[in-house]
Amino acid sequence: MTTIGSEKRKSGAKDEPQGKKVRKDTTDGGNFAKKPPKFPGKNFQGDGKFPGKGFQQKNPVPEKQDWKKFKQQKKELRIKRKEKQKSKDLVDVVNEAKKIYEQLKCKTTKGRADMAAKLHNLLKGGDKYSKMVLSHDTARIVQCLLKVSPPAVRGEIFEKLSGCLAAMAMSKYAHFCVLAMLKHGSAETRERLIEGLFGNYVKLCSHSFGHTIVDSIYITWATAQQKSCMRQEFYSDLYRKDKDRNVKCLVDTFKDAAHMKNIVMGTLKQHIVKAVNKKLVDNSLFHGVLVEYLTECSDEDKLEMATAFSGLLASLASTREGTRAATLCFWYGTAKERRSALKHLREHVEKVCVHEFGYYLILAILHTIDDTKMLKKTLLDTIVEKVETLVQHEGGRKVIEWMIQPGDTNNFHPSVTSALNDGLKYSKKDVSIRRTEILEAVQADLVAAVRKNAKFWLSNGHIARTTATILSREHAGITEAYQNLAKVISDPSWTLEPPKEEENAEESDEEKPEKPKKKFRKVKNPLEKPQSKDVPAAPQVGVEDAGLHIVLKKFIKIPTFAGILLDNLTEETVEKWLPINRGCFLLADILKGAPETEKLLQMLRERREGIEKENSPGARVLLEKI
């Protein structure tokens, strides 16, 4: 059986003539595209085009490799791998060190010296110490080691860190380790540390962390020769490496060579201006150099320095030389600079007044200022407002006493007054007028303060002396102040609180520094009764205090006060005073100074037998009076 398709094929095959087959062109989409020849020419690319000169061969000749560069890359890669491995090892060491440190830092831990030696043996290999001091957590471990370890271990730690002292002093965390070396290290270690920083002190003074190291060294540890060597670095770059033992101060640098003065002063000025721009002026070394510059520079430079430091006087007044420099800057300035200085001092008045040296700056301002109205707004109002806080410190008492009685030899040494008088040539107002205006501005408020809180103003001998100074000038409210003071003095229950002693933390035996041997043996007073440290001191009767006794005798010499005190005395108070030696002397002074003494004489005569039993010098003097 045949199909239709086969029949058609057969019929079609018969119709077509049998001849030669014709090749069809199928370059567009057929399967018979024209193939390129097997062996093309040099520039033939396979698409029938000849690009010409820009043609590049498919397989170019490889370039010659730089074997030195290849070896260097391999070497750097090996070093990185080793460092990575070392860092892994350091992490393990640090973790183990932290575990020991957690026990070592506790004061109650026993055997701390052995633990410190063990920790040092763990860290002393390689450059572990120099890496650990730069981190915030591991730097504490090194600080604890320097504090607790025996001297031999401290010396070894210093040897490990001696090569990077300057970098440590400028590090945020490592500079604490430098301070620990100064505090806990031996004398030899300190000397080597100070000399190891030679050549870097100018840079450290202008660094936010380094200036604290310099300040500690200059104030506490450096000798006179080392201090002069530290100052020499500011004078010229020649002294950074080579020190001259004959140069003790700024003048010595150009004493024999006058032409060097401008060069040295110019170099020193650059260093000062750099520190001022960074506001890093609270440094004892910087203060010493600044005072030398201010005394030798020209008038133009003095005015420039006064302008630059007008807002930084409070920061300068932290050392003796700094206070002197601040005083000179205030004197050298114009009225505009002085007003600016007073405005900046307003918020720091309390701190400056109570400072050991800062109060001298306030005295200089009070002694030479012309604009007393501006002075009252900026300084005097603040001083009067916080007067009870200020009188508890020596500097604050000096300021108040100067405002009431400036230059009084009972309160001020003549040398202080003489030094302050040097600034009068920079002032235009008459001295007496200035003192009168200052007294009028503060006297009423000070007398009112005494009147309001009379017991406080008799709380100890030092404050009582200031009280006597305040009431030494005539004023309308003095009588009322006398009455309030007399009520406190005549109170039978008037006692003084014992001074508060600072509680120091107990140190373990391993932490106590070795005390130097005393050359002389202190002889104990055989009449002094031994007091137990555990038993608190009993409150003292007011009239028994030595300082208050002197002040009360001054008050009693004033007839007005003696009469007021006599009116307030009661029989109970007299009985309380009679067994006390100083109390008997005060009663004798009242009999001598008061206008009407019949009442007191009658009370004393009634108690004559009791007075005769007392064996004190005051009782014998009192018997003669009655």
Q: How far is CA 397 from CA 128, 150, 316, 418, 478, in A?
A: 54, 46, 21, 20, 19
| CA separation for the pair 360, 367 (Å, rounded) | 10
- Averaged pLDDT, 568-583: 88
Q: What is the pLDDT of residue 500?
A: 63
Rg of the Cα atoms in the chain: 45
| CA separation for the pair 353, 361 (Å, rounded) | 9
Q: What is the pLDDT of residue 127?
A: 84
Q: In angstroms, how far is CA 596 from the centroid of its own chain? A: 58
Closest to 175 (Cα-Cα) out of 128, 202, 147, 136:
136
Contact 362, 379 (CB under 8 A): yes
β-bridge pairing 540-541 and 495-496? antiparallel
DSSP H or E segment with residue 2: none
> Model confidence over 205-237: pLDDT tens digits?
999 999 999 999 999 999 999 999 999 999 988
More confident residue, 66 or 485: 485
Q: What is the pLDDT of residue 601?
A: 86
Residue 469: HSE in the Cβ half-sphere, 13 Å Cα cutoff: 24
- Averaged pLDDT, 598-614: 84
**Residue 491, Cβ neighbours under 10 Å: how many?**
16
Q: What is the pLDDT of residue 291?
A: 95
The encoded tokens of residue 274 equal 């750099």
Q: What is the pLDDT of residue 7?
A: 43
> Model confidence over 10-57: pLDDT tens digits?
444 444 444 444 454 444 444 444 455 554 554 444 455 445 545 455
In the chain, what are the domain boundaries? 85-196, 489-495+540-625
* 182 pLDDT tier (thresholds 50, 70, 90): very high
Closest to 485 (Cα-Cα) out of 395, 594, 562, 408:
562
Give the range among 144-158, 426-440, 503-517 with minimum mean pLDDT: 503-517
Q: What is the pLDDT of residue 530?
A: 57
Instruction: Give 92: exposed, middle or buried? Use CB within 10 Å, 0-12, 13-18, 19+.
Output: exposed
Q: Is 243 helix (H, G, I), strand (E, B) or coil?
A: coil
What secondary structure letter does DSSP report for 307?
H
> Model confidence over 480-516: pLDDT tens digits?
999 999 999 988 888 887 766 544 433 444 444 444 4
* 63 pLDDT tier (thresholds 50, 70, 90): low
Contact 249, 321 (CB under 8 A): no
- Averaged pLDDT, 606-615: 83
Single pTM value for the model: 0.78
**What are the residues whose beta carbons fall under 8 Å from the beta carbon of 388, sequence distance 6 or more?**
449, 453, 456
Instruction: Give 147: exposed, middle or buried? Use CB within 10 Å, 0-12, 13-18, 19+.
Output: middle
Q: What is the pLDDT of residue 526?
A: 57
Hey, which residues does 496 pair with through a beta bridge? Answer: 540
The encoded tokens of residue 399 equal 């300021």
Residue 605 has pLDDT above 80, yes or no: yes
Give the range among 67-71, 419-423, 467-471 with minimum mean pLDDT: 67-71
Residue 383 has pLDDT above 90, yes or no: yes
Q: Is 223 helix (H, G, I), strand (E, B) or coil?
A: coil
Q: What is the pLDDT of residue 70?
A: 76
Helices (H), 185-319: 187-196, 201-205, 210-216, 224-235, 261-278, 284-296, 299-308, 313-316
**Residue 554, Cβ neighbours under 10 Å: how many?**
15
Residue 531 has pLDDT above 60, yes or no: no
* 523 pLDDT tier (thresholds 50, 70, 90): low
Give the range among 40-54, 63-77, 329-343 with minimum mean pLDDT: 40-54
Q: What is the pLDDT of residue 611?
A: 82
* 89 pLDDT tier (thresholds 50, 70, 90): low
- Averaged pLDDT, 148-163: 91
Q: What is the pLDDT of residue 62?
A: 64
> Model confidence over 242-278: pLDDT tens digits?
888 889 999 999 888 888 899 999 999 999 999 999 9
- Averaged pLDDT, 555-567: 89
Contact 544, 584 (CB under 8 A): no
Q: What is the pLDDT of residue 15?
A: 47
* 3 pLDDT tier (thresholds 50, 70, 90): very low
| CA separation for the pair 93, 40 (Å, rounded) | 72
What secondary structure letter does DSSP report for 534?
S
Give the range among 54-58, 252-256, 464-468, 592-596 with minimum mean pLDDT: 54-58
> Model confidence over 283-307: pLDDT tens digits?
999 999 999 999 999 999 999 999 9
| CA separation for the pair 444, 123 (Å, rounded) | 68
Percent of the chain, pLDDT > 70? Answer: 82
Residue 136 has pLDDT above 80, yes or no: yes
